[in-house]
Amino acid sequence: MNKKLISACIALLIIGIGVLVYINIHQKREMTEMVELLEFEKEELEDEYEDLSIQFDGYQQLDIHNDSLQELLSKEQQRVKDLLEELRITKVTNARRIAELKKELATVRSVMVVYVHQIDSLSQLNENLTKQNREYRQQYQQVTEANEQLTEQNTKLEQVVSRASMLEISNFSVITLNKRDRKTGIFSQIQKLEIHYTLLKNITCEPGIKTVYLQLRRPDGEVMTKSMSNTFAFENGTLDYSIKQEVEYEGEELSAVMYWQVEEILQSGTYNADFFVDGNLIASYPFTLKK
């Protein structure tokens, strides 16, 4: 009977490992697709900047007979060149700055529309230029509509990047220790909980000091905490935490350990461990303490 039970456990373990491997491969594939999408968006934006720069070149070659307007056009043209150069050196994962450059593009185009109107009002412009300006105005109307769609797409893209940059946890386990810090399975002798976890590798997450908040909830749902002041900001309010730990995360897999000193009367049953980092709930694990 014991052999059958052991075999069943081994089979379940193998299935679990297979599921974890599949999830890991699926996440890596999604990450690759996301980076490719970011690269495509950035290339499209570079093309739009280059097209706008060519349009400015066309206006600079015209004999406008207005020094003030000519100077304004020159400044805007240089602005486009500077923004294009910045875009080329901006990393594809810097979605926030790319979004700002998209908005800058829309601003430059709206300014250019104003200049086109001014050029139209000048009597020195010939018939061909007037016709060309009318075409430009139609194009800018289309660009305005396209920009609204682009803004919506960028919002969705930022959400994708945000989800991709969230940390993940694995290898969670809880070891019960007695007053001598030795492992024990006797419920009445539990004096400390040793909590193990691993922050997984994530190249899109900003490296640096990360504060990990652990919320331990008893079987009755109450949060285990040492002080009423042990709270942290979450969404539009605050939550109690049991343990707070600061770790230096550099994008690579990082294992850590937390300890909870048992000072209350433990309840027998299923507990829950919720992990929060950067204002996000990144993992939730149940564990059982039984008499």
Query: Does the CA dihedral 260-261-267-269 come out positive or negative?
Result: positive
Helices (H) and strands (E) in the chain, counts: 4, 10
Residue for token pair 């294992």: 255
Give the mean model confidence (pLDDT) for residues 116-136: 62
42-53: per-residue pLDDT in tens?
A: 777 778 777 777
CA dist 61 to 54, 56, 65, 189, 227, Å?
11, 9, 12, 87, 72
How big is the CA angle at 143 (ends 140 and 145), to the nearest 5 degrees? 115
Query: Model confidence at 15, in pLDDT bands (50, 70, 90)?
Result: confident
Quote the pLDDT of residue 246: 96
Task: Estimate to the nearest angstrom the gap between the alpha carbon of 196 and the chain centroid.
Answer: 26
156-193: per-residue pLDDT in tens?
A: 434 434 454 689 999 999 999 999 999 999 999 999 99
Tell me if 289 sits within 8 A of 268, measured CB to CB. yes
Residues 6+ apart with CB under 8 A from 76: 56, 108, 111, 112, 115
Please say if the pLDDT value at position 73 is more than 90.
no
The backbone torsions φ and ψ at residue 89, rounded to the nearest 5 degrees and listed phi first, read -95, -5
Domains of the chain listed by start with CATH number: 23-164 (no CATH), 167-289 (2.60.40.10)
Two structure tokens written together for 198: 């691993």
Look up the pTM and report it: 0.47
